Structure 1
């Protein structure tokens, strides 16, 4: 008898299909105002000033949660993502965090360094 797949396993598989092969593919802007399409920012604010830390964090949360691979590479920036990851990882779902950290070990937090 096959083991049923958990809802979390299904979500993680869906997330893993969207993740780029390398962080170098994340070539989004480092500063300025970006406008997310309604397909991503469907519940409110669509313009985000990347020079304002809270708006930048909100933008990245939305793109990580809602974006397809093309959105991730278009709107996310490798340098910003790695800089923000220690906080951003606490704001996204466990499934998103686990998939991104498994795919990109450089994002994974050293538990001893956090303690």
Structure 2
């Protein structure tokens, strides 16, 4: 990953490792730009992991993503 995303610590991620995958997605969601979203995020992976990822993000970031992409919103109970 480029320095503007992973400026402290790990810059290479084994995406077969669920913890590293979630960590990489968290970094991109928090620090990324449009170009990073299109380069590093996969829609299917994002949607499938969103229930876990949303707990790893601050309320503001989570709200922005869920507003922009309604598929990410939790189902009404």
Shorter-chain TM-score tier: over 0.9
Please state how far the C-alpha of 1:56 moved relative to its aligned partner: 0.1
**Larger helix fraction of residues:** 2
Residue 75 in structure 1 maps to residue 54 in structure 2: no
TM-score (norm 2): 0.96
- Listed as ranges, the gaps of 5+ residues in structure 1 are 1-35
Runs of 4+ in structure 1 displaced over 4 angstroms? Answer: none
**Larger strand fraction of residues:** 1
Rounded to whole Å, the distance in 2 between the matches of 1:60 and 1:102 is 18
Please state how far the C-alpha of 1:90 moved relative to its aligned partner: 0.4
Structure whose alpha-carbon radius of gyration is higher: 1
Rounded to whole Å, the distance in 1 between the matches of 2:61 and 2:76 is 18
- Listed as ranges, the gaps of 5+ residues in structure 2 are none
* Residues matched between the structures, number: 77
Higher RCO structure (Cα 8 Å, ≥6 apart): 1
